Amino acid sequence: MRKGSAPIVVVAVIVGLIVTIGFFAKDKMLSKKQEPNPTTSQQATIQATPTISTPLQQSSDPTANWETYRNQKYGFSIKIDPEAYPLGIRKSEGAIGRQLFINAVRDPARVDTVFTISVYSQDSKTKQISLVKNECTPKANKILEENTNSVFAGIKATKLTCKDTVFNNSKSTYFVEKNDNLYIIHGTDQILSTFKFLQ
């Protein structure tokens, strides 16, 4: 490594840690509050499609009136509650493993990451599971539960659930193998329940 490139590597590692810590901190705060929701200010690959529901659906499905967002590039749709996040969503793509973050905006000063999806090659599954496990340790007041026989969006998956013993909440991460890719899908349970593959 060149002498001049060391600060760049250090900055990249620090930024990665801040994003990871911020993601988990926001998730902890979200679990104590109502689930997030975006508005109609979407970027090109995410399109809002309002959902029409009857009063009967409203009482049985809390996501019935949520807006559906589709992403053709990554081949999925999710629903987000427009009342909780009246200023909409912002998406950002990371360079690592074709990663997409969906951030819901509660107010101009508050942006919450409500969902992430990363797409890797299937041969990286063991490494990616190990990375998630390393973030969920007793030293960080977290308990890890693993289910290798889970089903997500109708497909066999490995599910890791990290329970925070301080904030008394949990986040789930699913590892789904589909079309020669490994999809790593992370978010709050209510939003994950609305996830669908488009193909």
pLDDT of residue 41: 40
Q: Which amino acid is at 55?
A: P
* Per-residue pLDDT band at 51 (split at 50, 70, 90): very low
- Which amino acid, 179? N
135 residue type, one letter: E
Q: Are 193 and 63 in contact (CB under 8 A)?
A: yes
Domains of the chain, first to last: 3-197 (3.40.1000)
pTM: 0.60
What span, in angstroms and rounded, lies between the C-alpha atoms of 105 and 97?
25
> How much is the pLDDT for 60?
84
19-28, 131-140, 150-159: which is most confident: 150-159
The rounded distance, in Å, linking the Cα atoms of 192 and 74 is: 15
pLDDT in tens, 13-22: 576 657 566 6
Burial class (CB in 10 A: 0-12, 13-18, 19+), 62: middle
